[in-house]
Amino acid sequence: MNLADLREDYTQGGINRASMKPNPFEQFKEWLKVAHDQKIPEANAMTVATANKAGIVTSRTLLLKGLVEGKLQFFTNYRSQKARDLEENPNASITIHWKELERQICVRGTVQKTSRQASKDYFNLRPYSSRIGAWVSAQQSDVIDQRATLAEREAVLMEKFPEGSEVPCPDFWGGYELTPTYLEFWQGRQGRLHDRLRYLADGDTWALDRLSP
């Protein structure tokens, strides 16, 4: 396989300022709805990149779980690598890529924890297995000896919290919300002359500009 030969042309059209909404969050919701309506698997999947105080960057795929008052919400273990990074450096970036639509959204901003109540409310909406799983992975990102260790923990926790009973939200698990200062909407075009429309925070308003591809 020659990686240099792997390429596709983009043919689904373009975007311009006139087609974009004044509020980037309304534009975000519109594109997300299109992806959902097109039945793209896990249309809310996003890459979240964080960096520690030494500037070492780590990225991973998570699921966007809320667009609330101009903030992007996701939930995770507060002992994870991402949580440790955010404790040292609250700046993060998010990229959502919809290959089928030849689109992506890139977001930059600062991150803080959601309220404890918001974490509990979302946790209680999760399937039973996911709630148990949050307890099983209490030491997320730590080294474990073997996978059987997880199965043993799971069995103990399922006995402690049987299906149908309340599984409390762990104090080491909860939500984050990213407050954007930068949102870029990207649409593939032929010849790699892609469209890039960027919203940049300007006080309480947003400046919209076209970027060179």
pLDDT digits (tens, 9 = 90+) for 93-102: 999 999 999 9
Query: What does pTM read for this prediction?
Result: 0.92
Unique residue bearing structure tokens 């890459």: 47
Residues 67 and 45 in one domain: yes
Angstrom distance (rounded) from CA 33 to CA 29: 6
Unique residue bearing structure tokens 């939500």: 175
Three-class DSSP category at 193 = coil
In a domain, 199, yes or no: yes
Specify burial of residue 142 (Cβ count, 10 A radius: 0-12, 13-18, 19+).
Answer: exposed
Unique residue bearing structure tokens 């409390």: 168
Taking the CA atoms of the chain, what radius of gyration do you get in angstroms?
20
pLDDT digits over 106-120, tens only? 999 999 999 999 999
Domain, as residue range, for 109: 14-124+171-210
Whether 24 and 180 have beta carbons less than 8 Å apart is answered as yes
Residues 60 and 88 in one domain: yes
Residues 133 and 193 in one domain: no
**List 126, 131, 153, 192, catalytic entry:** 192
pLDDT digits over 124-172, tens only? 999 999 999 999 999 888 888 999 999 999 999 999 999 999 999 999 9
Identify whether 192 is a catalytic site residue.
Answer: yes
Whether 73 and 38 have beta carbons less than 8 Å apart is answered as no
**φ and ψ at residue 196, rounded to 5 degrees:** -130, 110
